[in-house]
Structure 1
Amino acid sequence: MMISLPAWVTEEAAAFWRSVACAPTYPCDLAPIAGRAYPVAIFSLTRLSVERVERWLQQRGIAYCSSCAERPLHGCLIAVRGHGLIFVDRSDPPEEQRYTLAHELAHFLHDYLQPRQCAIRRLGPSILPVLDGERPPTFEERLNAILASCKLGFYLNLLPRTTEDMERISALLRAEREADRLALELLAPARRLLSQVDQQLQKGADPAERRHIARRLLVVTYGLPPAIAQGYATLLFPATTQRSIAHLLGFYD
C-alpha cells in the first residue's frame, strides 16, 4: 500500500523550482536558492530560542514581542509586509538545519505568501494596509474576502500558545502537517524517491522492505535527519493504518 500524493504539494514545489530557475541537486541546500525569487532572508543563530529571536529583532530596531513562553527552537519564521525572516538553530546538525529551513520556507510560501498574493489579486492593492496589519478590514472588505475565499490580517508565526483555543490549535496542527509535507517534497520529491525504491525492489515487495530502502535513501541521498526520514518512509509506505505526519515527524516551529 502506498499513500497518494496531494496535488497541491507537487504543484507548489514545482512552482518553487520554476521561480528560482534551477534544477534541484541532492542533498538540497535551499539557503542560497530561496532568495533568488522570494523576499526571504535566512539567519543562523546559536542556541535559538523565543527570547533569542526577540532580542535579535529588538537590537535591529524591529519591535516584536511573541506571546509564547521562552523555549528552545529548531527554527522560526517572522513574516511581515511581504518579506520573511527565517531563523535556524546553528547548533543543530547540518541535516537538521536543512529540514528546519525547508519547513520554515514552506510556511512562508504556503501560509503567508500564497494567501497574501491571492488577496491582492482578488481584492486589489488597497487591501495591502490590512494585510500588513496597519488597519483592520472594513465590513465590505471582510465580506469581499469571504466571497473571494481570501485570508485577511497579518501572519503570526505558528508557535505554540495556550491550549484553550481549540480552533487555533486545530489550525496549527493542519499548518504544521502541510508545512512538513511541502518541505519534504522540496527536499526529497516523492515520485523521484518512489522510482528509486522501485529500481531496488520488486513492485510486490513487502512494505517493510520498501520503508527500509526509502529511509536509507532519504538519509544518505537526500540528507534528511533519521527521525524525519523514518516518518516520511512510513508515510509513503504505511503498513495497514496511516498515522498523522505530525505524529510521525513531530513539530518543527
Structure 2
Amino acid sequence: MMPPWLKEAVNASGLPFPETFPRDLALDVSLLLRVRPVPLRGLTSEKVRQWLAQRGRDVEISYRRMHGCMVAWEGKGLVFFDQNDSPDEQRFTVAHEVGHFVLDHLQPRMRALAFFGEGIQDVLDEKRAPTPEETLTSALEDVPIGVQIHLMDRGPSGAIGTGTVARSEQRADRLALEWLAPAKLAREVLRNGPEGQEEQRLGQHFGLPLAVAETYVRILRREDGRPRFSIVSFLGEEAG
C-alpha cells in the first residue's frame, strides 16, 4: 500500500502515470511543472552559481561536486544534473531533485496558500514582510520563504537510504522511485523472473542505477511486510 504522504505528493505533482520505460521524467516535468531541467558537464556548486549569476540571480552555495542541484523560488524551479553521469544516474538525479521541489517547495506553498489565502503569496515570494501570525505559522509548518537550494552530494557508491540520510532525502528518493518505477509495476517485474536477479531486472526495466535498484527492492519488501535483514535497514533506512 502506498504511504499517505507519498500518495499526496504524487497527486500534488500532477505528473501522470508513466506509459513507457525507462521514463523521460525531464520531459514530463518541463511540460507539466514549472521546473526546468538544466544539464551541465562536471557539475559543481560553482558552475550552478555562475549559471544563475549570468542570468541575474545571485546565490551563495558552498563549493562541492555533486550529482544534482535544485533551486526553487516563487513556485518554480531549476533542476541541474551532471551530463557526464550515465543515463541511469541522470534519470534518478532529475527525479530526486524534482522530488525535493514537490515535497520541500511546492507542497508547503500549497498548504500556506490554502491556510492564509492568496495574500500569503507576496510573503512567500519575499515581496512583503510577514505578519507575526504568518511568521509563527511558517515556522511551525516549515513553510519555505524565498529561495530554496538543495544539493545532491556525490557519495562513494551513489547508494541511497542509509541511516545517515535525512528523512527529507529518503522521501525524495521514494517519490523519485514512484515516478520512475511505480511500485505496482515494480512488484510485477520482481515476481516475473528467477530469484537472485531482482535488482538487475528492476534496474534494466526501469533504467535505474544498480545501487538504487537494490535499495528499492528492500523498500518494496518492507512495504509488503517481508523485510530482509541488511546492515542498511538495521541502521535506519526509511521508506515511509
TM-score tier after normalising by the smaller chain length: 0.7 to 0.9
Q: Is residue 2:108 matched to residue 1:115? A: yes
Q: Is residue 2:3 matched to residue 1:6? A: yes
The farther-off stretch of 115-124 and 213-222 is: 213-222
Alignment of 1:73-222 (within 5 A): 73-145=66-138, 149=141, 151-159=143-151, 173-200=166-193, 209=195, 212-222=196-206
Q: Secondary structure at the match of 2:32?
A: coil
How far apart in 1 are the matches of 2:233 and 2:127?
37
How far apart in 2 are the matches of 1:245 and 1:55?
41
Q: Are the structure 2 counterparts of residues 143 and 60 from structure 1 closer, same or farther at C-alpha, using a change threshold of 3 Å?
A: closer
**What corresponds to 1:226 in structure 2?**
210
Q: Are the structure 2 counterparts of residues 156 and 226 from structure 1 closer, same or farther at C-alpha, using a change threshold of 3 Å?
A: same
- 8 Å CA contact 1:20, 1:36 repeated in 2: no
- 8 Å CA contact 1:119, 1:150 repeated in 2: no
Counterpart of 1:9, as a letter, is L
The farther-off stretch of 125-134 and 81-90 is: 125-134
1:14-67 per-residue CA deviation (whole Å, 9 max, x = no partner) reads: 554xx345643111111111122211111100111010000111111112222x
Counterpart of 1:240, as a letter, is F
How far apart in 2 are the matches of 1:55 and 1:96?
23
Q: Secondary structure at the match of 2:123?
A: helix
**What corresponds to 1:41 in structure 2?**
36
Q: Secondary structure at the match of 1:158?
A: strand
Q: Are the structure 2 counterparts of residues 143 and 247 from structure 1 closer, same or farther at C-alpha, using a change threshold of 3 Å?
A: closer
- The alignment's C-alpha RMSD in Å is 3.0
Counterpart of 2:122, as a letter, is P
How far apart in 1 are the matches of 2:234 and 2:12?
23
Q: Are the structure 2 counterparts of residues 113 and 244 from structure 1 closer, same or farther at C-alpha, using a change threshold of 3 Å?
A: farther
Which consecutive unaligned segments of at least 5 residues does structure 1 have?
161-169, 202-208
- 8 Å CA contact 1:48, 1:72 repeated in 2: yes
Scaled by the length of structure 1, the TM-score of the pair is: 0.77
Pick from 64, 72, 76 the counterpart of residue 65 of structure 2.
72
Q: Are the structure 2 counterparts of residues 244 and 53 from structure 1 closer, same or farther at C-alpha, using a change threshold of 3 Å?
A: farther
How far apart in 2 are the matches of 1:133 and 1:232?
39
Q: Are the structure 2 counterparts of residues 144 and 100 from structure 1 closer, same or farther at C-alpha, using a change threshold of 3 Å?
A: closer
Q: Secondary structure at the match of 2:178?
A: helix
Scaled by the length of structure 2, the TM-score of the pair is: 0.81
- 8 Å CA contact 1:79, 1:112 repeated in 2: yes
Which consecutive unaligned segments of at least 5 residues does structure 2 have?
153-162, 222-226
Q: Secondary structure at the match of 1:77?
A: strand
User: How many pairs does the alignment contain?
Assistant: 224
Q: Are the structure 2 counterparts of residues 15 and 133 from structure 1 closer, same or farther at C-alpha, using a change threshold of 3 Å?
A: closer
Query: Which one has a bigger Cα radius of gyration?
Result: 1
- 8 Å CA contact 2:74, 2:124 repeated in 1: yes
**What corresponds to 1:235 in structure 2?**
219
1:213-234 per-residue CA deviation (whole Å, 9 max, x = no partner) reads: 3312221100101111112122
Displacement of 1:129: 2.2
- 8 Å CA contact 1:177, 1:246 repeated in 2: no
Q: Secondary structure at the match of 1:86?
A: strand
How far apart in 1 are the matches of 2:151 and 2:189?
36
- 8 Å CA contact 1:96, 1:225 repeated in 2: yes
Q: Are the structure 2 counterparts of residues 242 and 15 from structure 1 closer, same or farther at C-alpha, using a change threshold of 3 Å?
A: farther
